[in-house]
Amino acid sequence: MEPHLREMFGNPSSGENEDGHLAAVAVELGRAQVAGALNARPNEIVFTGSCTEANNMALLGVARTFPEKRHIITCAIEHPAVLEPARALEREGWRVTYLPVDINGQVSVGDVQAALAKDTALVSIMAANNEVGTLQPIREVGAICTQHGVLFHTDLAQIIAYGEIDVERDNIHLASMSAHKAYGPKGIGALYIRSRRPRVKIAPILYGGGQERGLRPGTLNTVAIVGMGAAYDIAKRTAMTEAVRLRHLCGTFRDRFVAQVAGVLLNGHPTDRLPNNLSFSIEGVEPLALMRRLRERLSISASSACSTNKIETSYILQAMFGDTPRARAAFRIAPGRFTTPADMEEALHLLAAEVAHLRDLAPAYG
The pairing of beta strand 151-155 with beta strand 120-124: parallel
* Amino acid sitting at position 149: G
- The verdict on whether omega for the bond into residue 198 sits within 30 degrees of 0, i.e. cis, is yes
Q: How far, in Å, CA of 102 to CA of 109, rounded? A: 12
Q: How far, in Å, CA of 272 to CA of 109, rounded? A: 15
Q: How far, in Å, CA of 130 to CA of 176, rounded? A: 14
Give a three-class secondary structure readout of the chain: CHHHHHCCCCCCCCCCCHHHHHHHHHHHHHHHHHHHCCCCCHHHEEEECCHHHHHHHHHHHHHHHCCCCCEEEEECCCCHHHHHHHHHHHHCCCEEEEECCCCCCCCCHHHHHHHCCCCEEEEECCCECCCCCEECCHHHHHHHHHHCCCEEEEECCCCCCCCCCCCCCCCCCEEEEECHHHCCCCCCEEEEECCCCCCCCCCCCCCCCCCHHHCCCCCCCHHHHHHHHHHHHHHHHHHHHHHHHHHHHHHHHHHHHHHHCCCEEEECCCCCECCCCEEEEECCCCHHHHHHHHCCCCCCECCCHHHCCCCCCCHHHHHHHCCCHHHHCEEEECCCCCCCHHHHHHHHHHHHHHHHHHHHHCCCCC
Q: How far, in Å, CA of 254 to CA of 133, rounded? A: 14
Q: How far, in Å, CA of 366 to CA of 363, rounded? A: 8
Q: Which residues are the active-site residues? A: 306
Q: How far, in Å, CA of 39 to CA of 69, rounded? A: 30
